Structure 1
Amino acid sequence: SVDYWSVHSIESVTAGQVIAVYHPAVSGEDGMSVKGGLVPAKHGREQMPLKGKGFDRMDDEVTYTASMDGKIEMQNDRIVVLPVHEVSGNAELAEGNIDFRGDIVIHGNVESGVSIRATGSITIDGVAEACMLEAGKDIILRGGMLGGNKASVKTKGAITAKFFEFTNILCEGDLQADVLMDCSVICHGQIRLTGRKGSIIGGKVQAIRGLIATSLGNDAEKRTEIFVGAGIDVYSRLRVMEKKIEMTREELAKIEEGLEKFEILSKERGVSYTNDPRRTSLLRIKIKDSAMLASDEEEVRKLRILAESSRGACVSVIQEIYPGVIINMDELKLALKNMATGVEFYKLPDKIGTRPCSAGVE
């Protein structure tokens, strides 16, 4: 059950975490050898305070805590906490997975099978193969990704890449690249492919806030599905969650009534119902339902943000859009039968309309 790939993982700390405790010197006691001779004690000598950066010395003058999230290491007898982890060469399986609280910068390639997680951003100067990337902030792939249908990229920030091939992508911010080939993409922001090629070929690509591309599909009429807007799944989920929240609130109101009755009975009879099994059961249900309600309300808040941000989302194609491309906007669908140039697709009440594209290459 040992995760051998993570054996070489980075030693990370969080802000406020105790990283060292100094133990003051103590006076030794004289001893005796096996022959009865005196062995003089060595008296302890106080050491100098720890040197380095990225940590604080507490008021007790013996406890040291990290002042930031990051990587902790020794550098020439100094303790250093760094918010950035740098890999000078390639990230290889032999070196293990990388899991770091902070930013990660890899100056080489990322080998297939490697897992990289960061609470901050991930920057890869080389080419990423069939690996797994997960970031709390932005992901930058200067050399692109060759996913081989085994790669996944997930981030709460934005993505900038040269290209993606055969990759699963979940991006909560905007996504900018030159080529998406046979990828499965869900982007909560806007997708922009306005580089030299700026094309999407094959796969399924969803952009909640809209999409701008130089071209869509290819002359081989490869099936390429484009989804913009929140989609019927978001609206359906929103309705379900709103109904669930309403029912939970009604149940909590009934529980509050039951607890109030115990309070009234306690005052009328002069008897404490604190440990009554029925009251205890109501309290447990209240705690569980309150936690569930808070979680559901947060999900609804996020769904409403997605729905609001999707208003007016459209698909802008600066140059060619080929047959085989399918445009989806909520419940509406349009399958391209003929090649078109410089067109923008937008949602009408009962169909997907077209107009000249006003977007340009940056």
Structure 2
Amino acid sequence: MNTLDTRGAGLSLQLDATGRVLLASLVPQPEVAAIDAAWLEERIAEAGAGRFRRDAAACELLLQQYAGGAAVAGLALATAVDAALAVRIAPDALLATLDITPAQGGTPISKEAVLAELGAKGITEGIALDAINQAIADGAAQDVEIARGRAPVAGEDGRLECLLPAARDRRPQLDASGHIDYRDLGEIQVVRAGEALMRRHPPTPGTPGITVRGAAIPPRAGKDIAFAPGLAGVAPAADDPNLLIAACAGQPVQVRGGIMVEPVFSVEAVNMASGNIRFDGSVKIRGDVAAGMLVSATGDIEIGGVVESATLEAGGSIVVKGGVIGRLGRKDAGDHHISCGGDFSAAYAQQVRVEAGDSIFIDDIAMQCDLLAANHIRVGQRRRGHVIGGRLQATLSVTARVLGSPNRIETRFEIGTPPALHKQLAELARQRDGEETQLLEVSKLLAFADHNPGRLPPATVEKAAHTAARLSAEIAALRETESALAQKADLARNARVVAEQAMYDGVVVTLGIQRYRVSGEHGAGAIGLGEQGLALLPAEDAVPAAPA
């Protein structure tokens, strides 16, 4: 007997009445040929169930029963499975995606079914019909974007625009890299009464967004900004409260939160004939300042000539078009000094003590001087740029063309973070902690008032609200100051003393507890922290990289 003729004898494969399930029946027959999984697959396909989902366990059982000569009745081998779909909405409700599980002998997904599911989930916005049609044509999909909402656009913060680009700026200045360029502070600028100075641009509300369900998403409104109270010498324009104009003639000066106009006092020279000058504003001296004289101003001081053994004190910057000459180190030196809250600039300096709240700029030469700057010292721009003798101290950098002299005159430099900066940071943190504690207590009071209307007098609630607003503003200002000082301390770790042309024996650099003495004559280079501590660095390392 031909074994092929007996293969599968007694085995019957038929669809059930629904046409969705393939059933197997087996009546054992004597002397039948063996069958395997491949043969069974062919028979399943011939029965019209080739695309149906297989029941692997049932198929294996059928093969075992057949081999063992056991009967089988109504064993489901394969079932028609319809395609399935799933629509997922992102947590922010700005995106909907589609998954389609392909049909296995069953009904495929239709466009109507997808749209019905979208409707059931309330998705109405940004439906992508082309993507839906393509997914249906493919018969399968995974994370296919089929609807997208529109994210809100945050409003722009309010800002203050200075309408005078040349106005002096007394706000803290610190470049992210700590780099410094020579600044020519120029002459004192004077505005007339009524001149436009600064415009306030209000914040914008932003643009609302919309979810795929059609719900509006409110935008984050821009932060408001207001002119600081008590700005001297300025007033809002009569027809525009967002415009500050000069209320009097004087020097415009940018400050935190606005601009002010300082009165300017002009004098030909300061000597015994003019007497000492103490002025609430800025002082402009066309000529010289004689020995022994005092000039004190809350604003800037501009001097067209030379200063000789005099005292200059300015809340802003000091510009000396000529030089400054003192008697530092001599028995008849006296108690003369120069100090300012901003920058100090002079053509040359000899035997003087200068302290600047920002940076010091000497164009030609600094000889036997005591210079102290909170940020940078720069000697040399259009002229020689020599530093010979004395002591120069700056937090971030000291730069000159030539450091020291061939005569080995000791020239001392101190760079890096001064102890006062660490003390200031600690004090700011202590002050902020105290105000945050106060704000927490006031916030508890306001929360109680919100949950218990009428329990507290309205005047108490109003006072608490004003206190909370004031504390919040003060805390924000303290955080801003802390951040700026912390950035400066970070920059100070990369402080440098830079020679653009040469440095000589006798130059001594100190950074914290480390000390480096230059031995011999060198060309361009820098002294700063290297891998082994304070060291002479190549010229290309003169400008350190900005801290991360």
Tell me whether 1:321 sits opposite 2:521 in the alignment: no
The equivalent of 1:185 in structure 2 is: 372
Whose strand fraction is larger, Structure 1's or Structure 2's? 1
1:144 match: secondary structure: strand
Contact 1:127 1:141 in 2 (8 A): no
Contact 2:396 2:494 in 1 (8 A): no
Once residues 184 and 82 of structure 1 are traced to their aligned partners in structure 2, the CA distance between those partners, rounded to angstroms, is 28
Contact 1:212 1:359 in 2 (8 A): no
The equivalent of 1:346 in structure 2 is: 528
The equivalent of 1:161 in structure 2 is: 347
Question: What amino acid is the match of 1:300?
Answer: E
Once residues 191 and 314 of structure 2 are traced to their aligned partners in structure 1, the CA distance between those partners, rounded to angstroms, is 19
Once residues 302 and 158 of structure 1 are traced to their aligned partners in structure 2, the CA distance between those partners, rounded to angstroms, is 21
Change (3 A) 1:197 1:302: closer
Aligned CA-pair RMSD? 4.2
The correspondence for 2:425, drawn from 227, 232, 238, is 238
The equivalent of 2:441 in structure 1 is: 254
2:421 match: secondary structure: helix
Contact 1:175 1:190 in 2 (8 A): yes
Task: Give, in angstroms, the shift of residue 99 of structure 1.
Answer: 1.9
Tell me whether 1:215 sits opposite 2:399 in the alignment: no
Question: What amino acid is the match of 2:503?
Answer: E
The equivalent of 2:514 in structure 1 is: 333
2:485 match: secondary structure: helix
Change (3 A) 1:117 1:110: farther
Task: Give, in angstroms, the shift of residue 118 of structure 1.
Answer: 5.9
Once residues 158 and 182 of structure 1 are traced to their aligned partners in structure 2, the CA distance between those partners, rounded to angstroms, is 14
The correspondence for 2:290, drawn from 110, 120, 141, is 110
Contact 2:314 2:341 in 1 (8 A): yes
The equivalent of 2:308 in structure 1 is: 128
Once residues 205 and 97 of structure 1 are traced to their aligned partners in structure 2, the CA distance between those partners, rounded to angstroms, is 29
Once residues 82 and 252 of structure 1 are traced to their aligned partners in structure 2, the CA distance between those partners, rounded to angstroms, is 36
Question: What amino acid is the match of 1:254?
Answer: E
Change (3 A) 1:299 1:14: farther
Contact 2:288 2:303 in 1 (8 A): no
Question: What amino acid is the match of 1:191?
Answer: R
Once residues 335 and 271 of structure 1 are traced to their aligned partners in structure 2, the CA distance between those partners, rounded to angstroms, is 69
Once residues 166 and 336 of structure 1 are traced to their aligned partners in structure 2, the CA distance between those partners, rounded to angstroms, is 24
Task: Give, in angstroms, the shift of residue 311 of structure 1.
Answer: 6.5
Q: TM-score, normalised by structure 2?
A: 0.43
Change (3 A) 1:341 1:305: same
Question: Deviations 1:314-348 (Å, cap 9, x if unpaired)?
Answer: 2123333333x43133x352231633422421222
Change (3 A) 1:237 1:136: closer
Change (3 A) 1:283 1:167: same
Question: Deviations 1:37-65 (Å, cap 9, x if unpaired)?
Answer: xxxxxxxxxxxxxxxxxxxxx99xxxxx9
Question: Deviations 1:122-146 (Å, cap 9, x if unpaired)?
Answer: 1231233221231524512413231
Question: Deviations 1:89-110 (Å, cap 9, x if unpaired)?
Answer: 4443753314263451331233
Change (3 A) 1:321 1:85: same
Contact 1:93 1:113 in 2 (8 A): no
Moved more, 307-316 or 347-356: 307-316
Contact 2:271 2:293 in 1 (8 A): no
Task: Give, in angstroms, the shift of residue 248 of structure 1.
Answer: 3.2
Tell me whether 1:273 sits opposite 2:452 in the alignment: no
Task: Give, in angstroms, the shift of residue 213 of structure 1.
Answer: 4.3
The equivalent of 1:50 in structure 2 is: none
Contact 1:210 1:229 in 2 (8 A): no
Question: What amino acid is the match of 2:394?
Answer: Q
Contact 1:166 1:182 in 2 (8 A): yes
Moved more, 174-183 or 244-253: 244-253
Once residues 372 and 443 of structure 2 are traced to their aligned partners in structure 1, the CA distance between those partners, rounded to angstroms, is 45
The equivalent of 1:355 in structure 2 is: 537
The equivalent of 1:101 in structure 2 is: 281
Contact 1:159 1:171 in 2 (8 A): no
The equivalent of 1:38 in structure 2 is: none
* Equivalenced residues, count: 286
The equivalent of 1:139 in structure 2 is: 319
Once residues 354 and 362 of structure 2 are traced to their aligned partners in structure 1, the CA distance between those partners, rounded to angstroms, is 15
Once residues 309 and 337 of structure 1 are traced to their aligned partners in structure 2, the CA distance between those partners, rounded to angstroms, is 24
Once residues 128 and 298 of structure 1 are traced to their aligned partners in structure 2, the CA distance between those partners, rounded to angstroms, is 40
Structural mapping, 1:199-210, within 5 Å: 199-210=387-398
The equivalent of 1:69 in structure 2 is: 250
The equivalent of 2:362 in structure 1 is: 176
Please say which structure displays the higher CA radius of gyration: 2
Q: TM-score, normalised by structure 1?
A: 0.62
1:261 match: secondary structure: helix
The correspondence for 1:264, drawn from 451, 456, 475, is 451
2:509 match: secondary structure: strand
Change (3 A) 1:264 1:273: farther
Once residues 84 and 280 of structure 1 are traced to their aligned partners in structure 2, the CA distance between those partners, rounded to angstroms, is 42
Change (3 A) 1:239 1:221: same
Question: What amino acid is the match of 1:351?
Answer: G
1:107 match: secondary structure: coil
1:143 match: secondary structure: strand
* Gap runs ≥5 in structure 2: 1-189, 195-236, 239-245, 252-260, 328-332, 543-548
Once residues 369 and 343 of structure 2 are traced to their aligned partners in structure 1, the CA distance between those partners, rounded to angstroms, is 22
